Amino acid sequence: MRHARIAALGSALAACTALTLTACAGAPSGDNTGDTFTILQYESPTSAQYKGWQRAVEIFEERHPDVEVEFQTTSFDAVRQNAKILLAGDDVPDVIEFNKGNADGGLLAAQGLLVPLTDQVAKHGWDEKVTGAMASLARYDDLGNAGSGDWYGVPNIGEYVVLYYNKEKFAEVGITEPPETLDQLEGAMDKLLAAGITPISSSASSSQGFNQMWLWYSLVSAEATRQQIDDFMFLRGDVDFSAEPWRSAALRFQEWIDEGYVGSDIAGLTFEQATVNFLQGDAAMVMWNNSEFERISNDASFDWGYFTMPGANLTMGSSGHLWGVPTHADNKDLAYDWIDITLSPEVQNLIGQGGGLPLAGDTSTITDPQVHDYTARFDELKDDDVMSFYPDYPLPGFLDFIQTHMQAMANGNETAQEYLASLQEFYDEGKEFQTSE
């Protein structure tokens, strides 16, 4: 039975330590009867989204003056690794931020740990604000597979991945405009290397070493079609990793490693260290999404810009992480109100001012020219339906698997062909499990 398989998989999470939280007081049972409303999230306090949510807390408190709000912050990894333990207990948050995709949100939904939100979505008109591809990872079927079924989460921002670049480093080697093709990008990196400048600041730690994974998948996305990505992401049809675009992207990625485009000794680095290295001027570029836009705006001591992977068919990106309501939450109606507030024009436009890419904001209200253009580019990608999501979404355990192999490639312990063979085996086995009744 499917539920037995899910329980067996979930038991592996039980070995993890519980989430470390502060002030995790439970409210009395029953909707809207408690005097404490607990929000659990993992966005950085420097992010536009976090700052928007602080205003959302103020609005919530104005609406519910007799309710004490506990706005708790944990880490992405803590929720990803321990959400099953937390949400299966009696003392749970009233609303929780969780990761998209079959490996995370889909698993929690199939385990019955999240409330189906379809009725609330229709009631509040959230499906008029979160549409198309931005809604695809909010919905899961009975097996926990994304793209159809009930809504189990609601995002309020979008994401897309860019190469942030140091214009001064580019100017040192005579580059005045962003490259428009992959070949031009590689030519620019050759010039940077020749001048002793590391082209891309990266990371390949097996925990939070996301940069290498994103670079590899961006090369896949550059050559992929919409159909190929949807087949891969939503477990439709057969995916042959020895064929294009997977083969050529992996081989090109290995060339980038061998050429030194991503630096050296990165196997132990996290994405945070990669960002710091970029901000310190130790590399000309770093690949990340909008969550670091405001930080780079504030902390970069040099003139900087950004561009999506040049000449690419598709660009990494999706909706943001999801708000969900635990099945055991005491204050579900308050949770629905909280989600609605985060999608309100005031909160959405505040997020937009900081470059947070709101799904229901008005781009024309953004006053900063750079933030406005950054958001307008997101609007284009969203409207053109050319976002390829993130590679770890289809299967449980996929993030750890990919990061481990990215580290092996960075160390020179695994070739592109070996990675693709392992990828095929893991994906096929995971898909068979994920799609079986």
Cβ pair 274, 263 in contact under 8 A: no
Residue 396: predicted pLDDT: 86
Is residue 315 left, alpha or beta, with left meaning phi > 0 and alpha meaning psi from -120 to 50? beta
Question: Region 39-55: what's the mean pLDDT?
Answer: 94
pLDDT range class, residue 437, cuts 50, 70, 90: low
Whether the pLDDT of residue 32 is over 80: the answer is: no
Of 158, 179, 200, 133, which is closest to residue 312 (Cα–Cα)? 179
> Mind listing the pLDDT tens digit for each residue in 418-435?
999 999 999 999 999 988
Residue 103: predicted pLDDT: 86
CATH number for the domain running over 162-314+395-435: 3.40.190.10
Whether the pLDDT of residue 237 is over 90: the answer is: no
Cβ pair 50, 156 in contact under 8 A: no
Residue 34: predicted pLDDT: 57
Q: Domain spans of the chain?
A: 2-158+320-367, 162-314+395-435
> Mind listing the pLDDT tens digit for each residue in 50-68?
999 999 999 999 999 999 9
Whether the pLDDT of residue 133 is over 80: the answer is: yes
Of 309, 303, 297, which is closest to residue 366 (Cα–Cα)? 297
CA distances from 37 to 78, 190, 240, 322 (A): 21, 54, 47, 18
Residue 322: predicted pLDDT: 97
Residue 285: predicted pLDDT: 98
Residue 6: predicted pLDDT: 32
Specify the pTM: 0.84
Whether the pLDDT of residue 3 is over 80: the answer is: no
Q: What is the mean pLDDT of the chain?
A: 91
The one-letter amino acid at 7: A
Which structure tokens are listed for 2? 């499917």
Whether the pLDDT of residue 161 is over 70: the answer is: yes
Same fold? 2-158+320-367, 162-314+395-435: yes
CATH number for the domain running over 2-158+320-367: 3.40.190.10
Residue 168: predicted pLDDT: 98
Distance CA 278, CA 362 (A): 31
